[in-house]
Amino acid sequence: MSSELVPFPPSGEYLKAVRESSRAARLKANITISDESIKRFLLSPAFTSTYTRLRAAHGMTLPLNFSSIKEELNILSVLSLLNFGSGYRVPLHIATGRGAFDNIRAFVFGAYISAASAGDHFSAHGMKEITPATVANLMRVMDAIHVERPHEEIPGVTVGELSGPIWEIVQIIAKTLNETGEALVNGGYPDLGSLVFEALGEGEKARKAGRDECEVIVERLVRGIPAFRDMALVQGQPVYCFKKAMLTVHAIALRYKASDTPPVPVPRTDHLPIFSDNVIPSLLVHLGVIDLSTADASLGLQQLFPEAQNPQLLEALLSAAQPVEPVVAKIISPPKEGPLLTVEQAFVLRAAAIDACELIVQYAKTLDISGAAEDWSWMKDITLPELDAWIWAVAKDRPDYRKLERFALRNTAYF
């Protein structure tokens, strides 16, 4: 489903649209999220023993020294723009030994440090002109994009061609950069960071006028850049996720909010909805928060994660993590491919995760912890971005969580 067929939300109500459309999609799909499942999750050792350690681990950093704030802001914005590829996690692991985001981060790093000799790939014009071959070379996957097949007419002869899942993700990255570069050139911006900086300034003016700066910034990004238009029609109704646009704003806030004199206006982001991808909804299903057993049968969601119906497995997942021997911890085999979904299925699950996290945070604020053996007062202050970061980080933190299947959607630049 092309985002071109989905109307933009009303101006000034983009975050509201994310929350309301997600809840509506979840309810229409008849996906259950109960108070009992939320309480079980919040009070589980898996959550209480790791939340404070993992709540800020978004990973949106690069080990680079930038010549200016403008340059850093541009690279941070590009990293957020390209934060997708989850549907190619397994083939990327096989080809490079790294997951989707680690490959994107390595690509951005490589493209940046090669700029002196190969041109600035992340200027507006550089993005507009970059080719799939250049992307593949910078990602170091040239060998993985060539596939041998039997010649159609000559027995015993093979023909090499550009094909396969790695070639698909390379093309999506190139297309995303091309479309972004074209939009920036047409808008008169030298790079993405300049558009983001302008949006931050407009957000700051809105904040001083008593409005929500994030509403202004997210709307500017979504309307300005096609790859930020993370929305689809589900059962005839619009669903808005806007993962990357909101993540861009939050990544900037995390980077600069600790500064006494921040070089850019720092938006308040504690209230942002979660940045829904494939990891968060999949893990919330495995942890028993999202119940697909009641889902509308026409969507085909009920049997996506059959192991999630196992009460013994759920108990183990909600328990504290088991110690791992150092030698074992270093052995990381390629993950198992999860179910491949349709666009509609993926948006329903992402919407369910957005609504689930809203309900988790609301419930945490009212949870009676007066009789708890430990000090869980921090639970009252859980924020949505921190909950997002915990779920995303814990999925990598525990070996048993790493083995859990995550759904995948191919041919998307949204997550």
Residues 227-244 have a mean pLDDT of 96
Mean predicted lDDT score pLDDT of the chain: 91
Question: Helix, strand, coil % (nearest 5) of the chain?
Answer: 55, 5, 40
Cα 184 to Cα 127, 202, 216, 225, 409: the distances in Å are 9, 18, 18, 8, 28
Residue 327 scores a pLDDT above 60: no
What percentage of residues in the chain have a pLDDT greater than 70?
92
What's the confidence (pLDDT) of residue 229? 98
What's the confidence (pLDDT) of residue 207? 97
Tell me how far apart the alpha carbons of residues 168 and 77 are, in angstroms, rounded to a whole number: 23
Banded pLDDT at 60 (limits 50, 70, 90): confident
What's the confidence (pLDDT) of residue 369? 76
* Phi, psi at 412, each rounded to 5°: -135, 145
Residue 22's H or E segment, with its range, is helix 14-28
Closest CA to 411 of 361, 343, 352, 354: 343
Residue 337 scores a pLDDT above 90: no
Residue 118 scores a pLDDT above 60: no
DSSP state string for 23-68: HHHHHHTT-B--HHHHHHHHTSHHHHTTHHHHTT------S---SS
Work out the angle between the directed axes of helices 243-256 and 192-208 (0-180°, nearest 10).
Answer: 80
Least confident of 83-92, 174-183, 298-307, 317-326: 317-326
Q: Which amino acid is at 340?
A: L
pTM above 0.85, yes or no: yes
Hey, is 150 helix, strand or coil?
Answer: strand
What percentage of residues in the chain have a pLDDT greater than 90?
77
Give Cα 127 distance to the centre of its chain: 21
Residue bearing tokens 């960071």? 193
Banded pLDDT at 375 (limits 50, 70, 90): confident
Q: What is the pLDDT of residues 191-205, one digit of tens each?
A: 999 999 999 999 999
What's the confidence (pLDDT) of residue 309? 82
Contact 285, 307 (CB under 8 A): no
Long-range contacts of 165-168 (CB under 8 A, 24+ apart): 165/88, 165/91, 165/410, 166/88, 166/91, 166/92, 166/95, 166/136, 166/141, 167/132, 167/136, 168/88, 168/410, 168/411
Query: Could you tell me the two tokens for 57?
Result: 């681990």
